[in-house]
Amino acid sequence: MKQVKISFLGCGNMGRSLIGGLIGNGYPPELLRGADPDPAQREQLARLFNIAVVEDNNDAASDAAVVVLAVKPQFIGTTITEIADTLKQQRPLLMSIAAGVRLSTISHNIGDKPPIVRVMPNTPALIQAGAAALYANEHVSDDQRELAEAIMRSVGIAIWLDDEARLDAVTALSGSGPAYFFLIMEVMEKAAIKLGLGEEQARLLTLETAFGAAKMAMESNHDPATLRQQVTSPGGTTEQALQVLLEGGIEKLFGDALSAANNRSIELADEFGMGSKV
């Protein structure tokens, strides 16, 4: 990864995770800078990573080759307005991890064809197990694409999309996805407790089973359907349980759930596009 100055505007959970991931992968702390209006956030960031942290976004963005917008979506407009002149003069790569904010909204008043990469990460990035999708506008160079991908790979996997609209589907799948698995683990724990297991026993067995299944899927050459068939003996306990889930409509239920999340992502993007342009 080419070593350039990277500035993070917003040092909450996701901003901190990216900074921590970069440093953990050997990126020089002196090339990283953060900006946050919260003194407690700035103090924590400086203490954890020994990087320069400032209050003013323009101070952070000055001379940066990459500016990462890690602020909440509702603050994108004011943040862009604040640093617009700096962006016009320096033309850094602008990376936005603000969910639901389209490139057209971000670039509205920057002008001069700014290079922008929009990213949809997810919360497991906090433990370097994230899954992110990226989409670049036509003004992003090959070197800038490599930089953006390397930043996100410091906290997990990263894939590129060729259509910005597909980010809504990514939001529904991996962006919101951790919560789906947490819900499944939650209901499995409750069901096991009703069957007589203790709370700690149910929790430990559920977590290790979820981890083991994910690890098997990651390390196998087979798709999930094949793996499911391999662990399902005819007439056995697993077959009985799966029959209940399938007859209960689990496939349609998840299809409806992801469609609802996808549609809500589109609605939010429309709302931010109308109300958050700078």
In a shared domain, residues 107 and 181: no
**What pLDDT does 251 receive?**
97
Strands in 32-35's sheet, in edge-to-edge order, are 52-54, 32-35, 6-9, 66-69, 93-96, 116-120, 130-136, 156-160
Is 232 in the same domain as 105?
A: no
**Based on the domain organization, do 52 and 157 belong to the same domain?**
yes
Amino acid present at 215 = K
Strands (DSSP E) contained in the chain are: 6-9, 32-35, 52-54, 66-69, 93-96, 116-120, 130-136, 156-160
Asked if the structure places residue 276 within a domain, the reply is: no
| pLDDT value for 275 | 45
Q: What is the pLDDT of residue 276?
A: 40
Mapping DSSP to helix (H, G, I), strand (E, B) and coil, where does residue 236 land?
Answer: coil
Q: Are residues 93 and 198 in the same domain?
A: no
Alpha carbon distances (Å) from 164 to 62, 111, 122, 134, 211: 28, 20, 17, 9, 32
The CATH number for 189's domain is 1.10.3730.10
Residue 252: which domain range?
Answer: 175-263
For the chain (length 278 residues), average pLDDT per consecutive 10? 92 93 95 94 93 94 95 89 90 92 86 90 95 97 96 97 96 97 98 98 98 97 97 97 98 98 92 56
Same domain, 112 and 199: no
Task: Please calculate the CA angle 28-32-35 and round it to the nearest 5 degrees.
Answer: 160
Structural domain includes residue 30: yes
Count of domains for the chain: 2
Determine the Cα–Cα distance for residues 35 and 33; give it in Å rounded to an integer. 7
pTM for this predicted structure: 0.91
Q: What is the pLDDT of residues 154-212, one digit of tens each?
A: 999 999 999 999 999 999 999 999 999 999 999 999 999 999 999 999 999 999 999 99
Q: Note whether residue 222 is domain-resident.
A: yes
Domain finish residue from 167, 186, 216: 167
| 208 in the same domain as 231 | yes
Residue 65 shares a structural domain with residue 160: yes
